[in-house]
């Protein structure tokens, strides 16, 4: 039986007026007691000349917990849920298709679903779908508790001794047994909504810096350090991996993730997730998505060589049986190379985007602020026959994640969200 669409607030602005309305709202924005700074930049390429306005303010909150708890899955270099929500609420209507070609942990898809839009995601990293799809249609806490109670954690078929730098021997045995159970369920075509949820939560608990994780203290949970690096951490801290109850930790994290999933939220999730799609492939060729079908794209691409996704995710790949060396994630080291790759993506985005549709393309301030990718990405969109409307810079102090890394707001790292908004005429 098809779920009836939940009642949601409707954006009553006409599609033709959205771009002008967005500029006026950004210019007048003062939700956090700051006035917007508006500047203009000259744009000159072989395809187009003119000016583009830049709007600088704090456009969404810097607080970590001002979003649905479903988002609380750590992933390196992900943006906050408030970013896609800002554009989804202003540039789409319930039922519209929202697409993210670099889906990562699925922030845009989760937020789109919560807002009653139809989510489509793409990412060449197979971990992305594993981390995203279970949260579009989550099980109940009781279903997870019941399934965990029936999983035996004694049957193992591997003994990766090198991982003992992270885990107590009994904890590692439990992890390997759970890995085998999930692998066999998937191989036999028996993996269901609950199994996929347990795999997702286990991924999020593999390593971290508190007793809620399976490991001894290590670096933040959005990556896994190397075995040699963990040895050094253990020696420096004079620590040994403690015994963890992984079933208890999975159930505890499940309660956290589902704490905001009341009956209305579940109703919205069921409706939108029935139409959701996820593609695991390069985003510069997506024939599975029909031309002129997408209302809004919200995404953040791989930046320059500041994040090594394969290196960060090696332990998660091990748990899921993925060889990270086989995942050809773009690691452009020069701006020109990055522009070449992004132009190919923009050509596909122009094809799938509806006339009047928009792209919110979040890029970073990298290499200590010496490279501002918003200046580099504008020519890519123009070459794909898209119109650059504006640059939005959400300027905030660093929050929890950056402070964990010891980054000062004025020295290094990305202390702003820099979003280029394009339109398909």
State how many domains the chain has.
1
Task: List CB contacts of 128: < 8 A, sequence separation 6 or more.
Answer: 103, 104, 105, 106, 121, 278, 280
Does the residue 237 lie in any domain? Answer: yes
Alpha carbons within 13 A on the beta-carbon side of 29: 21
Does the residue 336 lie in any domain? Answer: no
Does the residue 249 lie in any domain? Answer: yes
Does the residue 229 lie in any domain? Answer: yes
pLDDT at 423 over 70: yes
Does the residue 189 lie in any domain? Answer: yes
Does the residue 181 lie in any domain? Answer: yes
- 257 sits in which H/E element: helix 246-257
Does the residue 186 lie in any domain? Answer: yes
The pTM score is 0.89
Residue 309: per-residue pLDDT: 64
Does the residue 174 lie in any domain? Answer: yes
Tokens of 305: 């060589």
pLDDT in tens, 273-296: 889 999 999 999 999 999 999 999
Tokens of 322: 């993925």
Residue 260: per-residue pLDDT: 96
pLDDT in tens, 314-361: 999 999 999 887 887 766 778 899 999 999 999 999 999 999 999 999
264 with 327: CB under 8 angstroms? no
93 with 116: CB under 8 angstroms? no
Residue 399: per-residue pLDDT: 44
Which residue range forms the structural domain that includes residue 214?
Answer: 141-256
pLDDT at 162 over 60: yes
How does residue 313 score in pLDDT terms, banded at 50, 70 and 90? confident
* Mean local confidence (pLDDT), 3-19: 49
Helices marked H in 18-158 = 18-28, 82-91, 107-114, 126-136, 141-149
Residue 167: CB atoms within 10 Å: 24
């Amino acid at each position: 039986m098809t779920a009836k669409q939940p009642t949601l607030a409707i954006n009553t602005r006409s599609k033709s007026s959205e771009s002008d309305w967005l500029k006026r709202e950004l210019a007048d924005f003062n939700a956090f007691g700051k006035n917007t700074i508006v500047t203009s930049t000259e744009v000159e390429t072989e395809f187009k000349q003119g000016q583009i306005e830049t709007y600088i303010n704090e456009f969404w909150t810097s607080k970590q917990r001002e979003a649905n708890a479903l988002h609380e899955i750590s992933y390196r270099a992900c943006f906050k849920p408030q970013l896609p929500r800002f554009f989804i609420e202003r540039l789409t209507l319930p039922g519209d298709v929202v697409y993210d070609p670099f889906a990562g942990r699925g922030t845009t898809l989760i937020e789109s679903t919560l807002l009653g839009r139809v989510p489509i995601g793409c990412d060449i990293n197979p971990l992305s779908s594993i981390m995203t799809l279970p949260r579009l249609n989550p099980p109940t806490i009781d279903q997870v508790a019941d399934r965990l109670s029936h999983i035996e954690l004694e049957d193992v078929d591997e003994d990766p001794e090198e991982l003992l730098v992270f885990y107590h021997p009994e904890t590692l045995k439990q992890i390997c047994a759970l890995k085998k159970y999930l692998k066999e369920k998937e191989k036999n075509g028996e993996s269901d909504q609950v199994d996929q949820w347990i795999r997702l939560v286990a991924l999020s608990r593999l390593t971290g810096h508190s007793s809620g994780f399976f490991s001894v203290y290590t670096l933040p949970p959005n990556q896994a350090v190397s075995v040699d690096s963990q040895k050094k951490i253990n020696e420096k801290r004079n620590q040994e991996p403690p015994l963890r109850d992984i079933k208890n930790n999975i159930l505890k994290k499940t309660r956290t993730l589902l704490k905001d999933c009341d009956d209305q939220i579940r109703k919205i999730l069921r409706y939108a997730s029935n139409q959701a799609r996820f593609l695991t492939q390069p985003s510069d060729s997506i024939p599975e998505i029909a031309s002129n079908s997408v209302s809004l794209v919200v995404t953040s691409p791989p930046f320059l060589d500041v994040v090594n996704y394969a290196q960060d995710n090696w332990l998660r790949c091990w748990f899921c049986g993925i060889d990270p060396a086989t995942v050809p994630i773009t690691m452009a080291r020069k701006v020109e190379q990055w522009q070449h790759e992004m132009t190919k993506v923009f050509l596909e985005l122009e094809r799938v985007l509806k006339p009047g549709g928009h792209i919110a393309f979040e890029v970073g301030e990298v290499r200590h602020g010496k490279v501002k990718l918003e200046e580099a990405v504008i020519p890519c969109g123009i070459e794909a026959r898209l119109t650059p409307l504006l640059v939005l810079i959400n300027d905030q102090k660093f929050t929890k994640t950056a402070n964990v890394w010891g980054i000062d707001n004025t020295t290094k790292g990305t202390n702003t969200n820099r979003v280029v908004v394009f339109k398909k005429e």
